[in-house]
Amino acid sequence: MLALRLTRSAHPAVQLRRLLVAAASAGTGFLLLSALGHALGNPDAASTSTLRLAWCAAPLAATVYFAVAVARTDPGTRPRPGLSAVGLGPARLMAVSATTTALSCTLGSMLALLVFLHLRGDLTGMPFDGAATDFLAAGRPLPLPAALTLLSLVPLSASAAVAVTLRPREPEAGTAPAARSYGRFGAYRRTTVRESFGAYGRFGKQFGAAARGRRTAVPAPGPDGAAEGATGSPAAESAAGATPVAAATVPAGLPWGVAVLAVGLAVEALASRTGGAAGDRPAALLGLALTSVGLALAGPGLTHVCGRLLQAVRPGALRLLAGRVLMAEAARIGRPLGVVCAVLAAAYAMASLQHRQDATSGPLVTLGVLLVAGCTLATLLTAAVEARQARAGTTEELRRLGAPAATLRKAAVLRALALLALFGPLTLVVAELSAWPLSR
């Protein structure tokens, strides 16, 4: 009941994202039922039916990925202060979010079943004059348990993925607050090193080692004779405070992504030299899968590198703001961006095999490609919304300090152009290299 109330009282934008999840679930469910219909109508072509069912794994994964992204941006199930007192702790909110996702996916699966039954002619007369009966199995009874089992894959997988992603996590050992300790005369102290008698009364002891280092440091003279890098200046102190933000570490997936991408391209090059028909070379498809995985893994690292490049040569305030935002959000928007590039490259490469498909599977292939591309693009947009929500406090602080709204908009446009300039040519190159062995 709580999940239904939160679903009904959500913002229209949140409702729209949930309806998109239901639509994606409906498309995936229809593809699964089409594979079942092909198996019923062609009992002698078991291998072809199995291959059609295996191709449904890509739309299923894209739908689950999109459902998880929508659940992460749902403001109704976000932990807030005071909710634990009324029994809505992190675990309960995670369960509510998983239930809401299951409801959306179940709605889409039921819609897919109704459309499939309508096209078969079980509800009304068969439309389209009986066309596309190859994957509908109109003349055979539909096994309802098998159909419901296939339709339950999307709700169960999506709700389980949401539960795993949003599960409550224990705080790391390094982030735990230090135990409170008391110094002399009940005063608080931050270190556990005991002081000798009378040490606190010595001049400068209470300022710490950092303050003594600032007073004793001798700045190096610059070319004009002025002291450079004077640590006692307010500008230097503010720059030092900003250094940990600028020195964010590169996401760990970049070396692995580049390595997997290189292996995939090498496998495709080897498959192109062996000759033979494209459909008879599973190594080419394996190389295509590896290149797609490599692009997805390298997405966060490439986004971080893009942020660094924006600040490379004498950056101004606009490039500094755009670059640091990209570096801070590399893990959040880099992975969906890498997945979008991988899907586009794979779709371009698989277009060379379109002439080998039979006429009956053409609409289903188009539906699957549109479904995967739409889910990945919607996931990227949802991740952008999540990133905007995450930096809402920083944006409000910048506006309070007097940053013009036009500057923030220009920084957002600059970030988009920088990502397009990096990922666009990379996607085209990988797509061309992947399509070459498949088209021979």
When mean pLDDT is compared over 48-57, 97-106, 223-232, the highest value belongs to 97-106
Together in a domain, 268 and 415: yes
Q: 280 versus 361: which is more confidently predicted?
A: 361
Residue 346's domain comprises 249-439
> Half-sphere exposure of 23 toward its Cβ, with a 13 Å CA cutoff?
13
Return phi, psi of residue 260, to 5°: -65, -40
Together in a domain, 39 and 138: yes
Confirm whether 381 is domain-assigned. Answer: yes
Q: Coil, strand or helix: which one is 181?
A: strand
- Give the pLDDT score at 82: 62
Look up the pTM and report it.
0.74
Confirm whether 99 is domain-assigned. Answer: yes
Together in a domain, 413 and 288: yes
Q: 125 versus 41: which is more confidently predicted?
A: 41
Confirm whether 44 is domain-assigned. Answer: yes
Confirm whether 291 is domain-assigned. Answer: yes
The amino acid sitting at 103 is L
Closest CA to 345 of 305, 300, 298: 298
As a whole number of angstroms, the distance between CA 398 and CA 402 comes to: 6
Q: 81 versus 425: which is more confidently predicted?
A: 425
pLDDT score of 38 more than 80: yes
Confirm whether 151 is domain-assigned. Answer: yes
As a whole number of angstroms, the distance between CA 215 and CA 255 comes to: 43
Encoded tokens for 46: 């078991």
**pLDDT-derived band at 228, boundaries 50, 70, 90:** very low
Confirm whether 257 is domain-assigned. Answer: yes
As a whole number of angstroms, the distance between CA 177 and CA 200 comes to: 25
Closest CA to 330 of 243, 396, 245, 431: 245
Confirm whether 148 is domain-assigned. Answer: yes
Mean local confidence (pLDDT), 181-197 = 49
**pLDDT-derived band at 83, boundaries 50, 70, 90:** low
Residues 337 and 299 sit within 8 Å (Cβ to Cβ): yes
Q: Domain count of the chain?
A: 2
Together in a domain, 144 and 268: no
Rounded to a whole number of angstroms, the distance between the first and last alpha carbons of the chain is: 57
Mean local confidence (pLDDT), 286-291 = 86
Together in a domain, 161 and 308: no
Sorted by sequence, the CB contacts under 8 Å of residue 433 that are 6+ apart come out as 265, 268, 269, 291
Domain boundary among 167, 188, 213: 167
- Give the pLDDT score at 372: 92
Sorted by sequence, the CB contacts under 8 Å of residue 157 that are 6+ apart come out as 60, 64
Residues 186 and 147 sit within 8 Å (Cβ to Cβ): no
The amino acid sitting at 213 is G
Encoded tokens for 364: 């289903």
Angle between helices 12-41 and 46-55 (to 10 degrees): 170
Residues 105 and 159 sit within 8 Å (Cβ to Cβ): yes
Domain boundary among 135, 167, 199: 167
Domain boundary among 137, 167, 197: 167
Chain-centre distance of CA 436, in angstroms? Answer: 29
